[in-house]
Structures are given as structure tokens and as C-alpha cells.
Amino acid sequence: NGFLIFLFIFLFIIILVEILFRSFYKLIKKNSYNFIEKIPSSKIYIESHPYLSYVCKKNFRQEGYNKIVNYPLKKVLINNLTSNNLGFFNGPDGSRNVQIPKPQNLIRINCLGASTTGNYISQNKTNYSYPLILENILRKKYKSKIEVNNFGQGGYNSADLLIRYLLQIVDTKPDHLIIYHADRKSTRLNSSHS
């Protein structure tokens, strides 16, 4: 009997706090409080990881992600992409898989970094990233079979990069690694000294 009274009082307090919150919100903001619809986890392209803050889901298509991003130099469009077999956005549409074990006679260059490496910029329905541009330049210049992979992940710090490299990227047997890890502060600092 005492438990039912406690439960009734508890529910009454919750309802009272909700009514007071909405009343004060409307009084202060001059507008009703609107609930933000929760995005289902099936539509979110990242997932938890036991040793990292997060990773991208493997072979996952981002839907409704076309958006304008305000970079320091200009506003750019980022298109929908599909992640690859390792959970990175790699190749022209992001979905180019990395073959393990590495094929013979392939020179594999892996680019690691945060958003400055991982992000794509879209213009005239074409995606650009520095790993894509580097791959095109190297393929034109050399006759060898060359693959430049984008292992960048926005939001990662250097510890995240090291952990991801040791847990996953090292297995791709890269011939060369390029690490480009910058943020707005270092970008501004570098441009002010040029």
C-alpha cells in the first residue's frame, strides 16, 4: 500500500514539473516548447566501439546528408556517401572497399587524419578529397598499380588515429602512410604566418 502511494506521488511530481516547465518556457520564450523527433539508430551512420569514441558503420549509405558546410575559405556542399567494408568513406562515392590481403604488385598509400582528411567536398556532382586527387595524380605519373585510401575520420584526435591504425588499418599492409591532422586553430595559425 505504501508503494502505491509513493508511486502516485512520484508520478504527480513528474507531471507537475512538466506542466511548470512548459508554462515557464512559454512565458519566457513566448513560444510553445517543441519536442525534437529522435533519429532512429538505423539512420545514424556512426556506432559505438569498445576502444574508440565511435566508428562509421560498414557499407552504410548516408541518407539526407547533402548539406552546405561553412569552411574557413568558402561554403561547400558535402554529398551523401556510402561507407566501405572497413567503415571509412573511400573512393569517389565513399564505398570503395579495401581488399585484404593486399593484391600483389599494388602500391597502397593510406591517408590518416580527422575531418581535413576524411571529408569530401562536392562540386558539379563530383566528389573531391585530397586522397582522391593524390591518387589521380600518381596514377597519371607512374605506371605502377597505385591505390590511395582515405582512412580519415572527422572528430578523431591523434590517440583515436593511433588506436584505429593498430586495430584495423595496419592489417591493410600499407606501403606508405600520410598523416594529415589539422584543426581550425592550426589552419589559422599556419595561414597567418604565410
Q: Model confidence over 165-188: pLDDT tens digits?
A: 999 999 999 999 999 987 655 444
Q: How far apart are CA 69 and CA 51, in angstroms?
A: 29
pTM: 0.74
**Among 81, 161, 77, CA closest to 117:** 161
pLDDT at 77: 60
Confidence at residue 187, expressed as pLDDT on a 0 to 100 scale: 45
Please write down the long-range contacts of 47-52, taking CB distance under 8 Å and 24 or more positions apart. Answer: 51/163, 51/167, 52/156, 52/160, 52/163, 52/164
- What number of other Cβ atoms are within 10 A of residue 59's Cβ? 13
Task: Estimate the share of the chain in helix, then strand, then coil, as percent rounded to the nearest 5.
Answer: 35, 20, 40
Q: Cell for 33?
A: 516548447
CA distance 39 to 53: 19
Query: Per-residue pLDDT tens for 24-42?
Result: 999 999 999 988 888 788 8
Query: Closest by alpha carbon to 56, among 97, 96, 89, 100?
Result: 89
pLDDT band at 194 (very low <50, low <70, confident <90, very high): very low
**pLDDT of res. 13:** 97
Which helix (H) or strand (E) segment holds residue 111: the answer is strand 106-113
Q: Residue 122: is its pLDDT beyond 60?
A: yes
Q: What pLDDT, on the 0 to 100 scale, is given for residue 69?
A: 61
